[in-house]
A and B are shown apart, each in its own frame.
Chain A
Amino acid sequence: MAKSGLLSSSLAKKYAMAATGLFLCLFLVGHLVGNLQLFISGEAGREAFNVYAHFMVSNPAVKLLSYLTYLSILFHAVDGFVLTKLNRKARPVSYAVEKPSENSSWMSRNMMVLGTIMLVFIVVHMQNFWWQMHFGAMPIQVVDGVELHDLYTVVYAFFNPAESMALLSLALYVAAMFAVGFHLWHGFSSSFQSLGLRHAKYTPIIRFFGRAFAVVVPGLFAAVVVYIYLIQA
């Protein structure tokens, strides 16, 4: 009977979407833990953040996780594009009149748009910080005899109001965090549904947790950057 392999069916594409999506939620938490240290001002914060950043690029286990993260982002994006293309093909003629807001949330219908915004943001963001960290000319901080890239100073300078582009960068960053939040608002609990994890008792909890996650995590990311901007104003 069934000949299609696990990876070729529509459901398999959904499992992959869900699994990579949930993994990327974990990545967000890891990234956020680092960023929160930017709240610490002065030398203590500089050292804490730079040591953490150094750990993130040098520890082999974290390295492995970071490769998994790149792969997940790539797979999640490509899978998303493929699914969207197939779904457009499934409705070649559209309706003259449609009332989608009567039956579904805006986020659930615009995951592709939100995802694309995030993808563009990730590229710009990597260029701004990751590229600098790995290949750019970086200021150095020496901690316990180890030379660390002073990413802390770079971030503070990037969002310094004296910098002409800082306000625009701040606005784009916050806008991107809104996209992350909206994407997660639907995506988090949707992943569980795709994997078949639905239960009368636990699904409401998952949904609540997912929505809280969608507000709190991007909210904190944005708060860090807004704080850096304001404190230097």
Chain B
Amino acid sequence: MDFTLKIWRQEGPQAVGHMATYQVTDISDEMSFLEMIDVLNDQLVRSGDEPVAFDHDCREGICGMCSMFINGEAHGPNRLTTTCQLHMRSFKNGETITIEPWRAAAFPVIRDLVVDRSSMDRIIQSGGYVSVNTNGNTVDANALPIPKPAADEAFEAAVCIGCGACVATCKNASAMLFVAAKVSQLALLPQGQPERTARVEGMVEQMDLEGFGNCTNTGACEVECPMGISLDHIARMNRDYLTAKVANKG
């Protein structure tokens, strides 16, 4: 298969970027999207050009690193699929494919398609954890009975791989789906209860500080999320935050 690629090139965080056009030929339809980029980069290196910088790690859909806005959609045209799990058979031979980095004030471009997603890490640091006393008497997590439906729902939230496609997709660059998944996965479990209020308040506050936009319930995130995280979690976070703010003294 042959493709024309239009890719965002930007030398550094402060540099002015532009779209560059490349041709790739003899691409197998079995190749993953990232393998296709590997072929392009090989070509670029051989001709003495700078390869396209892009994030990737596991290449099996679990780490959330691969972040590409492909033909107007986060992670490309397929549903429930990360860029590394997207295959070239999903495209038409001869097609022009536009590849851009995630666009958000909270995700500044580092180089080409690589963006800085540490804003998400700082949200997690603001409450997305449970504090466990490690004095030697730590209780085994499985010793606590958890109703199956609650465990299942917490798991559905916990599969969020922190890829940022929700932010990239949202017309408001809102991180609500990500934050909600991280709030929910603990809010549904008994271990998450002691810090439940402080968690949602801290994480929402950090989310706002990082400059993510405000949710307008378009639902685009849920559609584009490679892990199928549901808007149910956003509603739960809205509920938790409201109760937290109404109930606390500050």
CB < 8 Å neighbour of B223 from A102, A109, A111, A194: A102
In the assembled complex, which residues on chain A have CB atoms less than 8 Å from the CB atom of B55? none
Contact A90 B250 (CB under 8 A): no
Which of chain A's residues has its CB closest to B97's CB? Answer: A97
Judging by beta carbons under 8 Å apart, are B218 and A86 in contact? no
Complex: A6 Cα to B250 Cα, angstroms: 9
Question: What 19 additional pairs, Cβ within 8 angstroms, besides A14-B214, A90-B211?
Answer: A1-B126, A10-B212, A11-B238, A15-B238, A86-B213, A87-B173, A90-B174, A91-B105, A96-B98, A97-B100, A99-B71, A100-B220, A103-B169, A108-B217, A190-B216, A190-B217, A193-B234, A196-B240, A198-B235
Residues of B within 8 A of A2 (CB): 198, 201-202, 204-205, 244, 248, 250
Contacts of A14 in B (CB 8 A): 214-215, 238
Q: Scan residues 143-189 of chain A and give those whose CB is less than 8 A from a CB of chain B.
A: 186
Residues on A with beta carbons closer than 8 Å to the beta carbon of B71: 97, 99
Residues A186 and B217 in contact in the complex (CB < 8 Å), given A14-B238, A95-B69, A103-B169: yes
A selection of 27 A-B contacts at a CB cut-off of 8 Å is A2-B204, A2-B244, A3-B205, A10-B174, A10-B207, A10-B212, A11-B204, A11-B237, A15-B238, A15-B242, A83-B216, A86-B214, A90-B105, A90-B172, A91-B173, A91-B213, A95-B69, A95-B72, A95-B100, A96-B19, A97-B72, A99-B71, A102-B73, A190-B217, A193-B217, A194-B238, A198-B232
Chain A residues within 8 Å of B237, by CB: 11, 196
Q: Does A9 contact B (CB under 8 A)?
A: yes
Main secondary structure of the interface of A (DSSP, over half): loop
Within 8 A of B (CB), among A67-91: 83, 86-87, 89-91
Chain B contacts to A: CB under 8 angstroms: 6, 8, 19, 69, 71-73, 77, 98, 100, 103-106, 126-127, 169, 171-174, 198, 201-202, 204-205, 207-208, 211-220, 223-224, 231-232, 234-242, 244-246, 248, 250
Shortest distance between the CB of B11 and any CB in chain A (Å): 15
Is A42 an interface residue, CB under 8 A from the partner?
no
Q: How far is the CA of A15 from the CA of B216 in the complex (A)?
A: 11
Other-chain residue from A4, A94, A196 in contact with B238 (beta carbon distance below 8 A): A196
> Do A193 and B224 have beta carbons less than 8 Å apart?
no
How distant is the Cα of A165 from the Cα of B202 in the complex, in angstroms? 57
A211 in the interface, Cβ–Cβ < 8 Å? no
A58 at the interface (CB under 8 A from B): no
> Could you say which of A11, A93, A99, A196 contacts B103, with CB atoms under 8 Å apart?
A93
CB distance from A42 to the nearest CB of B (A): 46
Contacts of A104 in B (CB 8 A): 171, 218-220, 223
Is the C-beta of A105 less than 8 angstroms from some C-beta in chain B? yes
Verify if A12 is at the interface (C-beta below 8 Å from B).
yes
Bound together, the chains give a CA A14 to CA B245 distance in angstroms of: 14
